[in-house]
C-alpha cells in the first residue's frame, strides 16, 4: 500500500515535533531506546526470519545471523553514545593575551533533525527498517522515517511494528519512527522540508536521482548514499606461486557468497599474466549450482549484464553460461577474463558493475600496467591485496588506499565487521560522502557542529560544562582529556 501525500505530511510533521524531545533526551535514555528495540527484535527472531525467507529466499541460517548483526548494531550504538567521544566536545577557554584575543569557545556535535532512510534489498534486516542507518540516527536523537523496500514489504511492516512498539514502551517521543511505502513517497520524502538528511543503499541510477533531488532543494540536505562498488582485488605472482589453490578457493567462495549480492563482492580481480589461475578458478566452479536472486528485477538484470560483457571481443568467458533465466532458475556463477591493456583502452565498457555471482579477471603484464589500469577503477568500498611477506608493495597499497575506504590484506572483502574501527564508504560511486554507513562513526552523518561563544554556564549543554558532569572524553585548551 503506497503512502499518499497527506499521510506523508502527517508523518513528517510528527517527526519534526519529535526532533526536539529526541535531541534533548540524555544519551542514557536514547541508549535505553536502542536496547529496547534490540531486545524486541531478538524476541521475535523466528517470526521475522520466516517472513524474510518467504520474500527474499536468503535462507534461515543467513537471515538468523543477520538479525543478530542488526541487534548487535543497535547495542553498539548504545555503547557509542554513552561513551561520549562521538560528541567531539571541545573547550577553548578565553585568552585575552592571544593575538587577536580569544573568547571562550565550546563546540560539540548536535543532531540534524528528522532523517529519511531507504531500505536496501540485499540485507532485509541489517540495512533495512531497523538497520544501521536507523540505529545510528536514533542513537544521536534524530527521528527516522524509513522508506520500505518493495522486495520485502511484509517483513518491513512487521519489523516497523516491533520497532515502534518497543520505542513507545521505552518512553521515546511520539513520531520518532515511522514507515512509508512506494516510490512516490520516497521521492516526496527527500524533498520534504522536515527531512534534514537521507541515508540510502541501492543502485547508482536510483541513488543519483535522489542525490540530485536532495541537492536541488531550496535548502539542500546531505545525502549519504552507498551506490556501487567493484571492490578490486590484486594478486601478485608470488602470492599465486605460494598459495594459488587457496586463493582460487577463497575467491570462488567470496564472489558467489549470497549469490553475488553483497555490496563488497570482489567484482574485479587483477592477476599476473601467464598463470593457470583463471583455468583453476573455472574448474573450481564447474559444479556450482544456481541460486535465487532477491527480486525479479535483479534476476532480469543479471543476464543482461552478463550478455553485455560476453558480447565484447576483448572479453573471454572462462566459466559458466551467460544465457540464463535467472528469474525461473536462479543465477549461476560466471567468470570473465580480459587484459589490463583492454581495461586501459576501454575502461567505461569493462569497468561496469554486474550485480550477481560474476567476476572479471584482468591479466596484467607488469607493475606499470597494473598501476595504469588501477588508476581507471572507480571508487570502491574495498580493495584487497594478496602478496607475500617481503614483497615491496608499498606503492600499490598507497594506490589502493586512494580508491577504496577499506584495504584488506590476505583476505576477502565479503563480510563486514561492525565495530569502532570499521569504514564502509569510499570515493564515488561507492558512497556519496566520506562517512561510513557501518561502524561507530556512522553516527557522524547525522550530526552537525555547533560552537557556543561566551555562553552563560547555566545555558551550556552538559557535554560542555566546566565540571564535565557526563564524564566524557573532551579536548580542553588543545589537550585531550
pLDDT value for 3: 80
Is 259 in the same domain as 393?
Answer: yes
At 49, phi and psi to the nearest 5?
-65, -40
The three grid cell numbers given for residue 79, joined into one nine-digit string = 555503547
Residue 305 lies in a domain: yes
Find the CATH number of the domain harbouring 293: 3.40.309.10
Residue 327 lies in a domain: yes
Is 461 in the same domain as 350?
Answer: no
241: Cβ–Cβ under 8 A, 6 or more apart, which residues?
none
Q: Identify the three-state secondary structure at position 54.
A: helix
Exposed, middle or buried by CB within 10 Å (0-12, 13-18, 19+), for 286? exposed
Range of the domain at 142: 5-227+431-480
Find the CATH number of the domain harbouring 60: 3.40.605.10
**CB atoms inside a 10 Å sphere around CB 109:** 18
Q: 113 and 222 in contact (C-beta within 8 Å)?
A: no
Query: In the sheet where 334-339 sits, what is the strand order?
Result: 316-319, 334-339, 358-364, 268-272, 232-235, 380-386, 404-409
Pairing of strands 223-226, 197-201: parallel
Q: Looking at 378, 409, 440, which one is the last position of a domain?
A: 409
Compute the distance between CA of residue 383 and CA of residue 406 in angstroms, rounded to an integer.
6
Residue 426 lies in a domain: no
Is 35 in the same domain as 169?
Answer: yes
Residue 98 lies in a domain: yes
Q: Is the pTM of this model over 0.75?
A: yes
Residue 414 lies in a domain: no
Residue 352 lies in a domain: yes
Catalytic center residues: 226, 263
Is 239 in the same domain as 369?
Answer: yes
Is 333 in the same domain as 473?
Answer: no
Residue with cell 606499470: 368
Is 159 in the same domain as 200?
Answer: yes
Residue 394 CA: distances (Å) to CA of 100, 355, 380, 404? 44, 31, 19, 16
Residue 423 lies in a domain: no
Please work out, in degrees rounded to the nearest 5, the angle formed at the alpha carbon of residue 335 by the alpha carbons of 309 and 290.
105
Pairing of strands 447-453, 105-111: antiparallel
Q: 460 and 106 in contact (C-beta within 8 Å)?
A: yes
Is 52 in the same domain as 101?
Answer: yes
Q: Looking at 377, 409, 441, which one is the last position of a domain?
A: 409
Q: How far is CA 216 from the centre of its chain?
A: 24
Is 347 in the same domain as 436?
Answer: no
Of the candidates 472, 381, 366, the residue with the CA atom closest to the CA atom of residue 433: 381
Of the candidates 431, 448, 422, the residue with the CA atom closest to the CA atom of residue 108: 448
- Quick one: which H or E segment has residue 303? helix 296-310
Is 246 in the same domain as 289?
Answer: yes
Exposed, middle or buried by CB within 10 Å (0-12, 13-18, 19+), for 341? middle
Residue 481 CA: distances (Å) to CA of 78, 468, 470? 22, 11, 13
pLDDT value for 51: 97
Give the single-character DSSP code of 193.
Answer: T
Q: How far is CA 229 from the centre of its chain?
A: 11
| Number of domains observed in the structure of the chain | 2
Is 295 in the same domain as 360?
Answer: yes
Those residues of the chain that have pLDDT short of 50 are none
Residue 325 lies in a domain: yes
Is 455 in the same domain as 378?
Answer: no
The three grid cell numbers given for residue 405, joined into one nine-digit string = 575506504
Is 264 in the same domain as 199?
Answer: no
**Omega within 30 of 0 (cis) for the link into 444:** no
pLDDT value for 4: 66
390: Cβ–Cβ under 8 A, 6 or more apart, which residues?
none
DSSP string, 311-372: T-TT-EEEES-S---HHHH-BPPEEEEEEHHHHHH-HHHHS----SSEEEEEEESSHHHHHH
The three grid cell numbers given for residue 62, joined into one nine-digit string = 543467513
Residue with cell 576501454: 346
Amino acid at each position: 500500500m503506497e503512502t499518499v501525500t497527506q499521510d506523508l505530511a502527517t508523518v513528517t510533521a510528527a517527526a519534526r515535533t519529535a526532533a526536539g524531545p529526541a535531541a534533548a533526551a540524555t544519551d542514557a535514555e536514547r541508549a535505553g531506546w536502542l536496547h529496547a528495540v534490540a531486545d524486541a527484535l531478538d524476541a521475535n527472531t523466528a517470526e521475522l526470519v520466516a517472513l524474510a525467507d518467504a520474500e527474499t529466499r536468503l535462507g534461515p541460517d543467513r537471515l538468523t545471523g543477520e538479525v543478530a548483526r542488526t541487534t548487535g548494531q543497535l547495542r553498539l550504538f548504545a555503547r557509542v553514545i554513552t561513551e561520549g567521544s562521538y560528541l567531539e566536545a571541545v573547550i577553548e577557554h578565553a585568552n585575552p593575551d592571544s593575538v587577536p584575543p580569544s573568547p571562550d569557545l565550546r563546540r560539540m556535535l548536535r543532531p540534524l533533525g528528522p532523517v529519511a532512510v531507504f531500505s536496501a534489498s540485499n540485507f532485509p534486516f541489517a540495512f533495512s527498517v531497523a538497520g544501521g542507518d536507523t540505529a545510528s540516527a536514533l542513537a544521536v536523537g534524530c527521528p527516522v522515517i524509513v522508506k520500505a523496500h518493495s522486495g520485502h514489504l511484509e517483513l518491513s511492516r512487521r519489523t516497523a511494528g516491533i520497532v515502534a512498539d518497543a520505542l513507545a514502551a521505552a518512553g521515546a517521543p511520539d513520531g520518532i519512527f515511522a514507515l512509508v511505502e512506494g516510490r512516490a513517497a520516497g521521492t516526496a520524502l527527500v524533498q520534504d522540508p522536515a527531512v534534514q538528511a537521507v541515508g540510502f543503499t541501492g543502485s547508482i541510477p536510483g541513488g543519483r536521482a535522489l542525490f540530485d533531488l536532495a541537492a536541488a532543494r531550496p535548502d539542500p540536505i546531505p545525502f549519504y548514499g552507498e551506490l556501487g562498488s567493484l571492490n578490486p582485488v590484486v594478486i601478485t605472482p608470488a602470492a599465486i606461486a605460494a598459495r594459488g589453490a587457496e586463493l582460487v578457493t577463497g575467491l570462488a567462495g567470496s564472489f558467489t557468497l549470497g549469490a553475488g549480492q553483497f555490496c563488497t563482492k570482489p567484482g574485479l580481480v587483477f592477476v599476473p599474466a601467464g598463470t593457470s589461475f583463471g583455468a583453476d578458478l573455472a574448474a573450481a566452479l564447474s559444479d556450482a549450482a544456481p541460486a535465487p536472486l532477491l527480486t525479479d528485477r535483479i534476476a532480469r538484470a543479471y543476464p543482461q549484464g552478463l550478455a553485455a560483457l560476453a558480447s565484447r571481443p576483448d572479453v573471454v568467458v572462462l566459466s559458466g553460461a551467460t544465457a540464463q533465466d535467472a528469474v525461473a532458475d536462479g543465477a549461476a556463477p560466471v567468470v570473465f577474463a580480459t587484459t589490463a591493456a583492454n581495461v586501459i583502452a576501454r575502461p567505461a565498457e569493462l569497468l561496469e558493475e554486474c550485480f550477481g555471482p560474476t567476476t572479471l579477471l584482468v591479466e596484467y603484464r607488469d607493475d606499470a600496467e597494473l598501476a595504469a589500469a588501477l588508476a581507471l577503477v572507480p571508487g570502491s568500498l574495498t580493495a584487497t591485496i594478496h602478496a607475500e611477506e617481503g614483497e615491496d608493495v608499498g606503492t600499490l597499497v598507497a594506490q589502493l588506499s586512494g580508491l577504496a575506504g577499506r584495504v584488506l590484506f590476505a583476505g576477502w572483502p565479503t563480510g563486514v565487521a561492525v565495530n569502532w574501527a570499521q569504514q564502509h564508504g569510499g570515493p564515488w560511486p561507492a558512497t556519496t560522502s566520506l562517512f561510513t554507513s557501518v561502524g561507530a562513526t556512522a553516527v557522524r552523518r547525522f550530526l552537525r557542529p555547533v560552537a557556543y561563544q561566551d555562553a552563560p554556564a547555566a545555558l551550556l549543554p552538559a557535554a560542555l560544562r566546566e565540571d564535565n558532569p557526563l564524564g566524557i572524553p573532551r579536548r580542553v585548551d588543545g589537550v585531550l582529556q
